Structure 1
């Protein structure tokens, strides 16, 4: 039985928070993509395909940010059963500095046949830009 769109979103959020790259990637269609419409310099606008997603996430896993928990998660199912919108507060740590990080995220996912075909991540680019700048200014 194919998972519902909501179940897929719950699994992808858990895999992302736990930095479980393989589970995260397996939840994507072979040609699925992650997209960041708003992002600071140095972050790609789109990563497409399982191999590229895996490569990107592996490079990021021990890099800049480790999210410890997601709070106030709200999953909105839409009139289109393939589209789910999720809102959450991501709390974590800036790895190079140990500073706390709080990020507000809204994501729009399209799921087809139990796999993510698109994941548009509308994170707050100002928080990430400030984090990157702080790490650079501290020599990281």
Structure 2
């Protein structure tokens, strides 16, 4: 049964770090969110589409993109389906769902994720973020996706 990210009990320190990704976004605390990334962190989007940046490089770029994405979102809830600690203590996989309101359009964004986190010194060095790009396109086209909107200017 899925559990809200802020109520999920982590079994390992690595899972606890990965869960912070979701809980801090739910809280809208992007200053604390910035602190869970290494300076040279990368977020990859393997299932991208034309108009979506394939990878964000460096903590500043990653956090700036989240600030832009979450500037006008509300009712953000992440639920966790499962958390997998691999045999490598610095590699965690989280299965999750995210739901929020996109206030520019009134649409509800509802997507499923598989996120692979590679950690270094207790911080996120890599987030390989898998999601359904069709849901993202439908919800954000013309709002956050379009010419010049998906890349850092």
- Common fold: TM-score over 0.5: yes
Matching residue of 1:84? 92
The TM-score, its normalising length taken from structure 1, stands at 0.84
> Number of aligned pairs?
133
Unaligned ranges ≥5, structure 1: none
Other structure's SS at 2:34 match: helix
Structure 1 position 22, deviation (Å): 1.5
Match of 2:141 among 121, 129, 133: 133
The runs of at least 4 aligned residues of structure 1 exceeding 4 Å deviation read none
Q: Among residues 43, 53, 60, which one is paired with 1:51 in the alignment?
A: 60
TM-score, normalization by structure 2: 0.77
Is the contact made by 1:67 and 1:90 (CA closer than 8 Å) also made in structure 2?
Answer: no
Between the aligned partners of 2:65 and 2:53, the Cα distance in structure 1 is 9
- Please report the RMSD computed on the Cα atoms of aligned residues, expressed in angstroms: 2.1
CA distance in 2, matches of 1:80, 1:14: 23
1:95 matched to 2:95? The reply is: no
Which residue of structure 1 lines up, in the alignment, with residue 131 of structure 2? 123
Give structure 2 stretches of 5+ with no counterpart.
Answer: 1-11, 145-153
Aligned partners of 2:31 and 2:120: how far apart in 1?
19
- Paired with 2:48 and 2:75, the residues of 1 have a C-alpha distance of 18
Q: How many angstroms does 1:73 deviate by?
A: 3.1
Task: Determine helix, strand or coil for the equivalent of 1:128.
Answer: helix
